[in-house]
């Protein structure tokens, strides 16, 4: 009995030592594998940037690859410890359908994210209207897209809400046309008004020479003759130039003797004749 007890104690000691060694190696695999995954992702980012790939494509692709690499590293560490991962893989495979049914909306957002990255209706830094809101695109995630509004509010949109609606990209082209409608009085000299507005547009440093700005009468409204001013500017200068032109056109028209009318109504009061009191 003493011999058997000594042998059993030796076996237990060996098993415990081996198991402890395997756990340590498994942790090392996990730590080193995570570090290697980060290094590979950083290298991939530099390589994709070197080839001038879209910023959203770089973020989206590297994020998915990093998660996949971490999964591989984790399974490798678990397998080295001696835990059979085959049942786990079979369980994950068998649960794929149930998981897919339970996460239909998430999978839809994931597929929409792939479409946004693949078709690229916008890129990072573009100002867009999508899903009923407007803002500057910061990133496209696996399930959500992040926008920042001009007043610095963060908006998180599900990717499917973007792909299922109209997308308006205000930064897609290098230039944009400003559409202004200026009303002048019916008694004003239209040629003078048009020449005055044209001079303001031509002299503004941010208005492009090509295409040339257009100034034309567009409507005979109730209280004014409406003149459309349509200059072209760089997309980044749109709002600043629009504000400056409105102010400069008003000042120039008033200086030229033209007036910008406001809606007016004339009321005519007729006194009714009361036959009883008049008799």
* Same-domain pairing of 186 and 244: yes
* Same-domain pairing of 160 and 180: no
* Same-domain pairing of 93 and 156: no
Report d(CA 201, CA 231) in Å as an integer: 7
**52 in any annotated domain:** yes
Report d(CA 15, CA 21) in Å as an integer: 10
* Same-domain pairing of 250 and 179: yes
pLDDT by position in tens, the chain (length 279):
555 444 445 545 554 555 566 677 777 878 888 888 888 888 888 887 776 666 767 777 788 788 888 878 887 777 766 666 566 566 656 555 455 544 556 677 778 887 887 788 888 889 999 888 899 999 888 788 999 998 999 999 998 888 888 899 998 899 999 999 999 998 899 999 999 999 999 999 999 999 999 999 999 988 889 999 999 999 989 999 999 999 999 999 999 998 888 766 666 676 655 555 555
* Same-domain pairing of 128 and 150: yes
Q: What is the pLDDT of residue 279?
A: 52
Query: Going edge to edge, which strands form the sheet with 144-148?
Result: 154-158, 144-148, 133-140, 127-130, 168-169
Report d(CA 196, CA 274) in Å as an integer: 55
Which range marks the domain in which residue 24 is found? 11-102
**236 in any annotated domain:** yes
**67 in any annotated domain:** yes
**251 in any annotated domain:** yes
* Same-domain pairing of 189 and 251: yes
Q: What is the pLDDT of residue 91?
A: 60
- Cα 254–Cα 259–Cα 261 angle in degrees, nearest 5: 140
* Same-domain pairing of 137 and 191: no
* Same-domain pairing of 154 and 181: no
Asked which of 153, 169, 185 is the last residue of a domain, the reply is 169
* Same-domain pairing of 160 and 188: no
**71 in any annotated domain:** yes
The enclosing domain of 25 has a CATH number of 1.10.287.1260
Query: Quick one: CA dihedral 44, 46, 52, 53, positive or negative?
Result: positive
Q: What is the pLDDT of residue 77?
A: 75
Q: Note the pTM of the prediction, 2 decimals.
A: 0.61
**45 in any annotated domain:** yes
Residue partners of 147: CB distance under 8 A and separation at least 6: 128, 130, 133, 134, 135, 136, 137, 138, 154, 155, 156, 157
Q: What is the pLDDT of residue 31?
A: 84
Q: What is the pLDDT of residue 144?
A: 87
Domains identified in the chain, total number = 3
* Same-domain pairing of 93 and 138: no
**234 in any annotated domain:** yes
| Cβ proximity of 116 and 159 under 8 Å | yes
**271 in any annotated domain:** no
| Cβ proximity of 80 and 29 under 8 Å | yes
The enclosing domain of 232 has a CATH number of 3.30.70.100
């Amino acid at each position: 009995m003493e011999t058997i007890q000594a042998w059993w104690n030796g076996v237990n000691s060996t098993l415990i030592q081996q198991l402890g060694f395997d756990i340590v190696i498994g942790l090392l695999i996990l730590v080193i594998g995570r570090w290697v995954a980060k290094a590979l992702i950083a290298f991939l980012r530099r390589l994709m940037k070197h080839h001038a790939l879209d910023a959203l494509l770089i973020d989206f692709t590297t994020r998915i690859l990093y998660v996949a690499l971490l999964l591989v590293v984790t399974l490798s560490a678990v397998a080295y410890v001696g835990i059979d991962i085959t049942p786990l893989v079979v369980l994950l495979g068998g649960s794929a359908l149930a998981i897919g049914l339970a996460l239909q909306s998430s999978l839809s957002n994931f597929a929409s994210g792939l479409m946004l990255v693949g078709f690229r209706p916008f890129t990072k830094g573009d100002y867009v209207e999508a899903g009923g809101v407007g803002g500057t695109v910061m990133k496209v995630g696996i399930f959500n897209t992040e926008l920042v509004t001009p007043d610095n509010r963060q908006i998180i949109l599900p990717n499917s809400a973007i792909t299922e609606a109209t997308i308006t990209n205000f930064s897609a082209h290098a230039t944009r046309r400003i559409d202004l409608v200026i009303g002048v009085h019916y008694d004003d000299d239209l040629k003078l008004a048009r020449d005055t507005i044209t001079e303001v547009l031509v002299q503004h440093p941010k208005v492009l020479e090509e295409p040339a700005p257009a100034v034309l009468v567009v409507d005979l409204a109730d209280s004014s003759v409406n003149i459309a001013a349509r200059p072209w500017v760089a997309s980044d200068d749109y709002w600043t130039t629009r504000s400056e032109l409105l102010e400069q056109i008003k000042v120039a028209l008033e200086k030229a003797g033209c007036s910008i009318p406001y809606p007016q109504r004339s009321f005519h009061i007729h006194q009714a004749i009361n036959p009883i009191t008049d008799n």
